[in-house]
Amino acid sequence: MVFAQCLRYIVKQNMGNSGSHCLGIPGGKGPNLVGCIDLMDDHTIQGSFLRLYYPCEQGGKQQQPLWIPRHEYYYGLADFLKYNRKLVDHALSHLYGSYRVPAEWDAPFKSAGKYPLVIFSHGLGAFRTLYSAICIEVASQGFVVAAVEHRDGSASATYYFEEKSKTVNEVGESTSFTIPALPFDQLQQKWLYYKPLKAGEVEFPLRNVQVHQRAEECIRALKLLTHINMGKPVHNVFPLTFDFTKMKDSLNLHKVAIMGHSFGGATVIDSLSKELQFGCGVVLDAWMFPLEDDIYTKVQKPILFINSEKFQWATNILKMKKLDSNTISRKMITIMGTVHQSFPDFTFLTGTFLGRLFQLKGTIDPHIAIDISNKASLAFMQKHLGLEKDFDQWDPLIDGKGEHIIPGTNIHLPLSNSEPNQ
């Protein structure tokens, strides 16, 4: 994806932050204060790992977490970009290391009826924190949002834990048949970095295996939250104070959506083909390449495609249009002046000059672009999850009506079938 190309330029130039004091991840505009925690329910590689965003109680003194939570994520980006780890760590720490996520870390959950649920899937080379602006906005509007960190080799970096006193085999499977809930101080981190293509390796088989694993990880996250909603005990590997019992009966599991960007967009479609509990999908600038052809007929749920103006190409759009239906709502809009990186948080944290130079910003104000995307997403979810909200005020956006929006696509079909490097 273009993410890699953008960061290559930044690392090569080793430039300082040219942004101003105004740079930062935007907070939520909805009526709810947003809290967040990290949740890992099983310390092994088989467990779920996600960042949970949720409406939280007022009045706490919780700290806002760092946007990039560990230096190992910089190392993962370096491996992804095939650059020296120390150079990337220095450059990106200088550019982005001080930014924090505008959500209250480990804040008490706000029990106020039943919240709809959104599962979010990140793009290639990303990880769970890089779409905080979208997740926080949706949570502020009265949703619980679970941003999955994928362990299929498509994240730049992620991790699980090993027991300090035991060995773990190559794929991270414990030699024991039971996985005890161990104290945090008895565990050590095991990092997984981006899995590159081998010399001469055909890309599709790898990406197809990955997209299916990603879908299973999204479904596993849904099942975990289902258990939490039922009041079943949950062990979080991380030593936080968050009281999961307050989430009992707090989720409306008849109103569940799935969202994702780029590779995460393909993950949305695959997940919809596998799990009927997802009521609809919102697909942000999808990379359709990983999906096999027989997936399309298996998807029976409404989908909203929100595309950038500068990323898409004919073959990719034609794959999206295979999902067109006369009976199931399938909508597509394009936001003018946007690029592929108008959806992740980098677009808010880079000054205009560097942002345009490295394709982290389009010509549109990134706050306007994400506002359009978020409002269209909320309106679509209200319509197809049956929410009793006022998001229907933004229904025209779904049909491509309004400033900065193109109904459908700006790509003229048919065009060349060549696919850009992701």
Give the residue numbers marked as catalytic.
Answer: 262, 285, 340
257 backbone dihedrals φ, ψ, rounded to 5°: -120, 165
Task: Please check whether residue 85 is in contact with residue 156, taking contact to mean a CB–CB distance below 8 angstroms.
Answer: no
Q: DSSP letter string over 28-91? A: P-SSS-EEEEEEESSSSTTS-EEEEEEEB-SS--PPPPBSS--HHHHHHHHHHHT--HHHHHHH
CA-closest candidate to residue 126, choices 420, 345, 357, 320: 345
* 8-state DSSP, 110: -
- 22 Cβ contact partners less than 8 Å away, ≥ 6 residues apart: none
Neighbours of 394 (CB within 10 A): 19
Q: Where are the beta strands (DSSP E) in 236-311?
A: 251-261, 280-284, 303-308
Q: Is the peptide bond before 414 cis (omega within 30 degrees of 0)?
A: yes
Please state, in angstroms and rounded to a whole number, the distance separating the CA atoms of residues 8 and 21: 25
C-alpha span between 376 and 399 (Å, rounded): 9
Phi, psi values for residue 153, rounded to 5°: 95, 5
Q: Taking the chain, what is the end-to-end CA distance rounded to the nearest angstrom? A: 3
* Closest of 245, 234, 251, 253 to residue 108, by C-alpha: 245
Answer for the pair 214, 154: CB distance below 8 angstroms, yes or no.
yes
